[in-house]
Structure 1
Amino acid sequence: MTAAESGAALQGKVAIVTGGASGLGRATALALAKAGARVVVADLDARGGREVAEMIDGHFRACDVSDLEANRALVEFAEQQCGGVDIAFLNAGVATGCGVGEDFDLARYRRAMGANLDGVVFGTHAVLPALRARGGGAIVATASLAGLAAVPLDPLYAANKHAVVGLARSLGPALARQNVRFNAVCPGFAESRIIDHLRGMLAEQELPIIPAEVVADTVLRIVTGDGTGECWFIQAGRDPEPFRFRHVPGPGKPVGI
């Protein structure tokens, strides 16, 4: 379901979007609002976040997603301003900027893990009571194709995105009994600040950049669908769909039997 097709499919719903000041978060906040949802935009970029919130007649809240209490305050703010929460798009993320060798930088590592993984874990923990209070809801986390494949050039980014993928696959069935659906989106090189340092390389190799709106449309398809525990890949020139994971082989027969 695209934003144009969704009409008022989310009329009366309340959504939180982290990293909503730009890129994928901005596009998704716009799409959710167009579909009828009231949106709370969260970001450390106050200027950009307020601009998006004003565009959609929503609300803005400054939030460092790597801080557990900041996530709790964000949810409390959404409940106070909008009466509850039905949808959380846990999207905030940053580039890693270092590896594990001589270029390892502890501060950069902590910053990336804090935004890309802690932000999803803390955001989920904070929003679950609000979703349960509404009878259920949907959480979508931003992972990456880097969470589905090996990324030798940026193993730490791959590590935190693989963790988000594992979280989505595990929490999907775990939260189903609470009527909470948890899924992830796994875009390739999509239009956002996180690829700024890669734009030269992408241009040289003639690799297409996925429009942020394609990711936003996929998020809408997920929150208006009924799947859970899915990780939707988004790749240029392909229709987004849940990635099909292979099953882990079961135990074999003991030797000698």
Structure 2
Amino acid sequence: MTSAGVLREAQTDGNALAGKVALVTGGASGLGRAMALALAHAGARVVVADLDARAGREVADLAGGTFRACDVSDLDANRALVGFAQEVYGGVDIALLNAGVATGCGVGDDFDPARYRRAMGANLDGVVYGTHAVLPALRARGGGAIVATSSLAGLAAVPLDPLYAANKHAVVGLARSLGPALAPDNVRFNAVCPGFAESRIIDPLRDMLSEQGMPVIPAELVADTVLRIITGDGTGECWFVQAGREPEPFRFRTVPGPARPAAA
């Protein structure tokens, strides 16, 4: 089935997540907004979390859900977000740890420790803290699903933005490792790895992308891929989303094992 066909199919199913409660961080715009609306269309009750309260409330209203301000780089804020969802809806079944920002600096003369910490705080700490905070709630429901937003920058070298690549590679490593680690708790952990998708992060790159004829991936296609991950049965997978291609789990090569000593 083509990507467009999968998207149309997902949009017609309003019961796939009926009765489920979902958190979406970074839900006020871009990919998070599309994810929140897709979850609501599939029947989930959605808590939209973001620092942008105005836009976040607008998305929550469209999704028929609720909004909670949350700085994902703060562990206590993540715990409070989960507690809020439990108080309002009685539990949590799905967590989309999507909040992220552009790095804005490199490691040379342009290195800015504050920008570096801001990016790592949102893009990596937000996933780690969010996972730690939501796990007890998922276990209390007998299991659930976590999807973290990484990037194609988490699957390939990115010489123009090595720090962004570093935190997105870390998210990929978490997904591959926590997938099997959390399986005994019936908690599935996966990552979605979009290319240049419609979001604020690509705003500084739009002219360059246009000049190079690089298509921007609709946020709705990324959201549809997330729905496929949630309603599937895989864990520890990292799904790439690339323009003109069918989204699917990236196939990693096996790391070579230790060489055995030559026989005497």
In the alignment, which residue of structure 2 is the partner of 1:190? 197
TM-score for the superposition, normalised by structure 1:
0.98
What's 1:75 paired with? 82
> Which of residues 104, 129, 154 in structure 1 aligns to 2:136?
129
* Aligned: 1:224 with 2:231: yes
| 2:160 corresponds to | 153
> Which of the numbers 91, 94, 98 marks the counterpart of 1:87?
94
- Equivalence for 2:183: 176
Q: Give, as a single letter, the amino acid of the residue that structure 1 aligns with 2:48.
A: V
Query: Unmatched 5+ residue regions in structure 1?
Result: none
SS in 2 for 1:151: coil
Correspondence 1:1-257 to 2 at 5 A:
2=7, 3-254=10-261, 257=264
Moved over 2 A (4+): 253-257
Aligned identity (percent) is 82
Distance 1:145 1:10 in 2: 27
- The offset of 1:11, in angstroms, is 0.3
Q: CA deviation at 1:254?
A: 3.2
Give 1:5 deviation, angstroms.
3.7
Aligned residue for 1:182, secondary structure, equals: strand
In 2, the alpha carbon distance for the partners of 1:162 and 1:184 equals 11
> What value does the CA root-mean-square deviation take over the aligned residues?
1.0
SS at 1:131 equivalent = helix
Unaligned runs of 5+ residues in structure 2 are: 1-5
| Amino acid in structure 2 at the alignment position of 1:11 | A
Q: Matched residue of 2:18: which SS? A: coil
Which letter maps to 1:245? F
- The one-letter code sitting in structure 2 at the alignment partner of 1:216 is A
Report deviation, 1:156.
0.2
3-state SS of 2:214 partner: coil
Deviations 1:102-149 (A, max 9, x none): 000000000000000000000000000000000000000000000000
Q: 1:99 to 1:255 in 2, by over 3 A?
A: farther
TM-score scaled by length of structure 2: 0.96
Mapped partners of 1:244, 1:56: distance in 2: 34
Cα shift at 1:223:
0.4
Q: Secondary structure at the match of 2:216?
A: coil
1:56 deviation in Å? 1.5
Paired residues, number:
257
Q: CA deviation at 1:7?
A: 2.2
